[in-house]
């Protein structure tokens, strides 16, 4: 089987959905599974619904606005009175009904039950449209196949159960399913982390022993830098799994960090291609003698720099490190860069769950801390060390780290 993943930008309106069918026509619509994200900025809009709900504000108006947008997209794809309109209404009724009867104060639990609906609605629209134009497919509820623990908003996949369920799919037909979501043992929805649809595609690819996996983007492939942030970037036509994993870890937004490992384990080739021009080759990630190691630039924004030191000027010892990383795990804060000296530890952190202040408060009971918010982590992979001076120009550098071929700096 082939696995195709289409992100929100590729299904943002009726014209985009029609373009997906053209991409599929160019690739051959047979023995494939499509993983599809929520349409356009729907995830952001549903996040706003959850925020309003917890503020006890008027979230119903926001739900109605999102619903109208999806109805308009369907109007551009289907004849009047098509069954898909009733399906769309039902999904939005379910969101409202859940919020009305919900008793849980757990923000992350409520978030997952509401925000996941974006993928459910988009896949229903795309699946119905493809069937309408005789691209025959079966719609799947990913929650019946991707099984996780109950770490809401950051679900950990139960690979044994997931592989057991997915392996029973008929590999001779085509499917449309959701990215980003799974379910726990109580069948509550659990999301796999923001931008987790790429990871979903890799899960299905791994469990189905797919021939290849392709992610369709609005860029030509993996570039040496984000063209919106860096000048004179080039397409990387071939890179290794290892290089892609490093780039994802350092913050390259085009690849989800968890995507590569399951693909590498079974040596499944991974392509990043453009849905604007599907005939172009794009980037191939995998084992190849053509793999490139070119200087690449990654900017990871909205980071927090946290400096920790002991109150009595004693060493930062192993027991201190264990305690600090225990707190980081507790508050679900990810480390992007770390540097330690005898009496201090500097951490560049990603605070996806807005818990940095709680972490800092906890640490201050034991340590001295200094915190700087809204910093950026700039990384140069395969850096040419003979001209690194250029990277320091016009930057206020708070922390830097240089390894054999990687330069990193935290800037303000």
Altogether, the residues listed in the chain come to a count of 412
The DSSP string of 67-87 is HHHHHHHHHTTS-TT-HHHHH
Residue 8 annotated in ligand binding: yes
- Non-local CB neighbours of 9 within 8 Å, separated by 6+ positions: 16, 40, 217, 218
Residue 40 annotated in ligand binding: no
Distance from C-alpha of 157 to C-alpha of 151, rounded to nearest angstrom: 10
Residue 326 annotated in ligand binding: no
Distance from C-alpha of 146 to C-alpha of 367, rounded to nearest angstrom: 41
Strand ranges across the sheet with 367-381: 334-340, 344-350, 296-310, 367-381, 406-411, 397-402
Distance from C-alpha of 170 to C-alpha of 153, rounded to nearest angstrom: 30
Which of these, 33, 75, 68, 66, lies nearest to 48 by C-alpha position? 66
Which of these, 300, 299, 267, 297, lies nearest to 285 by C-alpha position? 267
- First-to-last C-alpha distance (Å) of the chain: 46
CA 168 centroid distance within chain:
26
Residue 318 annotated in ligand binding: no
Which of these, 369, 348, 347, lies nearest to 358 by C-alpha position? 369
Q: Name the E strands within 101-222.
A: 138-139, 175-178, 181-183, 189-191, 212-217
Distance from C-alpha of 88 to C-alpha of 220, rounded to nearest angstrom: 33
Residue 228 annotated in ligand binding: yes
Distance from C-alpha of 119 to C-alpha of 170, rounded to nearest angstrom: 22
Give the residue numbers of the binding site for ATP: 5-8, 228
Give the residue numbers of the binding site for substrate: 43, 119
Give the residue numbers of the binding site: 5-8, 43, 119, 228
């Amino acid at each position: 089987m082939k696995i195709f993943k289409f992100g929100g930008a590729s299904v943002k309106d009726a014209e985009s959905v029609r373009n997906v069918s053209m991409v599929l026509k160019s690739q051959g619509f047979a023995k494939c599974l499509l993983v599809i994200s929520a349409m356009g900025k729907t995830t952001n809009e549903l996040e706003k619904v959850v925020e309003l709900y917890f503020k006890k504000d008027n979230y119903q108006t926001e739900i109605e606005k999102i619903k109208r947008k999806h109805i308009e997209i369907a109007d551009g794809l289907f004849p009047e009175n098509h069954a898909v309109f009733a399906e769309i209404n039902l999904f939005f009724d379910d969101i409202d009904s859940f919020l009305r009867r919900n008793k849980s104060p757990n923000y992350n639990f409520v978030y997952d039950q509401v925000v996941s609906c974006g993928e459910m609605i988009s896949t229903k629209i795309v699946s119905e449209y493809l069937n309408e134009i005789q691209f025959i497919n079966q719609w799947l509820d990913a929650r019946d196949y991707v099984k996780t623990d109950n770490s809401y908003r950051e679900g950990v996949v139960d690979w044994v159960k997931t592989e057991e369920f997915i392996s029973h799919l008929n590999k001779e037909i085509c499917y449309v399913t959701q990215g980003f979501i799974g379910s726990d043992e109580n069948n509550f929805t659990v999301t796999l982390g923001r931008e987790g649809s790429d990871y979903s595609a890799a899960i299905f690819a791994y469990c189905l022993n797919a021939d290849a996996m392709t992610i369709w983007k609005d860029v030509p492939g993996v570039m040496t830098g984000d063209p919106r942030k860096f000048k004179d970037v080039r397409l990387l036509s071939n890179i290794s799994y290892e290089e892609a994993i490093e780039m994802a870890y350092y913050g390259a937004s085009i690849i989800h960090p968890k995507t590569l490992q399951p693909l590498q384990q079974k040596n499944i080739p991974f392509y990043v291609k453009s849905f604007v021009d599907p005939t172009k080759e794009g980037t191939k990630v995998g084992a190849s003698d053509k793999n490139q190691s070119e200087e690449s630039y990654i900017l990871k924004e909205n980071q927090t720099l946290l400096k920790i030191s002991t109150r009595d000027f004693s060493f930062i010892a192993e027991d201190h490190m264990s305690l600090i990383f225990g707190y980081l795990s507790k508050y679900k804060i990810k480390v992007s860069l770390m540097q330690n000296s005898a009496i201090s530890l500097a951490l560049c952190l990603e605070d996806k769950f807005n818990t940095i202040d709680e972490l800092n408060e906890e640490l201050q009971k034991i340590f001295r801390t200094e915190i700087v918010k809204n910093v950026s982590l700039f990384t140069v992979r395969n850096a040419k060390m003979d001209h690194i001076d250029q990277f320091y120009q016009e930057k206020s550098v708070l922390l830097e780290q240089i390894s054999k071929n990687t330069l990193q700096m935290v800037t303000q």
